[in-house]
């Protein structure tokens, strides 16, 4: 079976057919952009998931913790597809894109034609390559199905082990702790959050987490998971054994690029795109956790797998699919936030500089768990970390995005009373940096 191509009249195509692969942040944002500009053309979406509503992955840990009900993880109305005249194919995977035929092949063997396609397949959780990960009770937390599967066994669980001390692992640990479980977090690195902050900042969060009851084991990895008498036994590298009923693997994510393997769509770690979110094939675009583009602060191609980035990328991809590359993406930016037991942390850009070309400004009060760090290169903010007091995160982030020289206000940048009024001299001095925003922070 094949799905119909775009409508035509007398052999001449009168409308476009847009195909969107994936239905998370980037895909939804692209649908909205396309419909604002093109009310009539066909939009078809293919998603592996079977849940007929649009939900935020960012809220899954809060749902798992019992902080919010399932209804609250939705971020678009149930009539979204009808209102936007979108055909959605649920529960099927695009196995292959065939660019030379403008065609995709589904897991069912069906094919779909397209005029332009957006690949918004996102990323999947990385699994540990150790014996025993296939056992019942071992999960990842990436989508609503994962969360529901974990919720099903929570009533039978008293102890949990989290493998991984990054954002995914720690959010899962926090959620299960709130459910009343004893939680052990096993971290291969010397400290938690090693991918996003330096040792000093991580230790503040780690000490706070431990003081509230979550156990953290560093410099260790699991080497095997056993099933013994109804329990799971996580065997660590030092042969220590952790008994539990639930294991969650939070080791990061890997982009889903397999559908374009062996095609002329250029890939690296992800699918490489240009400033229009366009791939190496003219009518194929990519956005979200699968798209690789340059980082504003490092000027290197990378994937910053973050919700706000995906939303902006999807929006720009949708515009360019309709208008023909009129809107540019300024670049991706690492930007993380988390809150544990009321202690917030925000990190952005380069937070662990390794060479002398960077200048680091720090102000801290460890008794109050307050820590502020600004990383500069040639008087331009390229990164920051805020713990405890995060009020100026938006201002700092905008200065990073605009790559503004802060020489005039560098002596004030970490002051307690620093706010938007302090950057007025910079706006007057560097007006070209502060034109009307095209890439605003989008909160869903």
Catalytic annotation, residues? 58
Of 201, 213, 184, nearest in space to 370 by CA = 201
What are residue 231's phi and psi, to 5 degrees?
Answer: -110, 160
Gap between the Cα atoms of 181 and 172, Å rounded: 12
SS3 343: strand
Q: Any idea which residue has 């980037």 for tokens?
A: 26
SS3 99: helix
CA 199 → CA 175, 189, 382, distances in Å? 24, 10, 19
Alpha helix (H) residue ranges in 382-433: 393-402, 424-429
CB count in 10 Å sphere of residue 192: 25
Gap between the Cα atoms of 20 and 185, Å rounded: 37
CB count in 10 Å sphere of residue 417: 7
- Give me 210's structure tokens: 């431990």
Q: Are 358 and 376 in contact (CB under 8 A)?
A: yes
- Give me 158's structure tokens: 């008293």
SS3 176: helix
């Amino acid at each position: 079976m094949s799905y119909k191509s775009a409508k035509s009249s007398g052999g001449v195509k009168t409308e476009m057919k847009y195909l969107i692969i994936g239905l998370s942040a980037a895909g939804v944002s692209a649908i909205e952009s396309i419909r604002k500009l093109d009310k009539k053309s066909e939009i078809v979406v293919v998603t592996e998931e079977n849940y007929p509503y649009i939900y935020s992955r960012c809220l899954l840990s809060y749902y798992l913790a019992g902080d919010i009900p399932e209804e609250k993880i939705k971020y678009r109305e149930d009539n979204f597809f009808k209102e936007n005249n979108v055909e959605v194919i649920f529960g099927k995977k695009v196995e292959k894109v065939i660019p030379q035929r403008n065609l995709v092949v589904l897991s069912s063997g069906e094919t779909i034609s397209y005029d332009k396609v957006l690949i918004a397949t996102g990323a999947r959780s990385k699994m540990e390559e150790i014996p025993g990960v296939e056992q019942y009770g071992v999960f990842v937390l990436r989508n609503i199905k994962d969360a529901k599967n974990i919720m099903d066994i929570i009533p039978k669980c008293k102890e949990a082990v989290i493998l991984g001390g990054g954002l995914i692992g720690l959010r899962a640990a926090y959620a299960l702790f709130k459910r009343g479980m004893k939680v052990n977090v096993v971290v291969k690195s010397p400290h938690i959050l090693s991918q996003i902050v330096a040792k000093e900042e991580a230790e503040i969060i780690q000490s706070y987490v431990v003081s509230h009851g979550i156990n953290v084991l560093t410099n260790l990895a699991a080497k095997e998971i056993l099933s013994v008498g109804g329990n799971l036994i996580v065997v660590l590298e030092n042969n220590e054994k952790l008994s539990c009923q639930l294991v969650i693997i939070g080791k990061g994510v890997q982009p889903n690029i397999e559908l374009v393997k062996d095609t002329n769509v250029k890939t690296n770690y992800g699918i490489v795109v240009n400033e229009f979110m366009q791939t190496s094939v003219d009518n194929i675009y990519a956005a979200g956790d699968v798209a690789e583009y340059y980082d504003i602060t490092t000027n290197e191609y990378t994937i910053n797998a973050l919700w706000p980035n995906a939303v902006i990328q999807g929006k720009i991809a949708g515009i360019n699919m309709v208008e023909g590359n009129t809107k540019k993406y300024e670049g991706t930016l690492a930007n993380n936030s988390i809150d544990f037991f009321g202690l917030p942390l925000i990190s952005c850009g380069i937070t662990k500089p390794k060479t002398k070309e960077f200048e680091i400004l720090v102000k801290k009060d460890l008794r109050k768990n307050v820590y502020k760090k600004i990383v500069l290169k040639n008087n331009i903010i390229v990164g920051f970390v805020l713990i405890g007091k995060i009020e100026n995160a938006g201002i700092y982030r905008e200065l990073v995005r605009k790559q503004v020289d802060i020489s005039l206000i560098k002596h004030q940048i970490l002051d307690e009373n620093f706010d938007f009024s302090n950057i007025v001299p910079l706006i007057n001095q560097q007006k070209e940096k502060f034109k009307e925003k095209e890439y605003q922070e989008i909160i869903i």
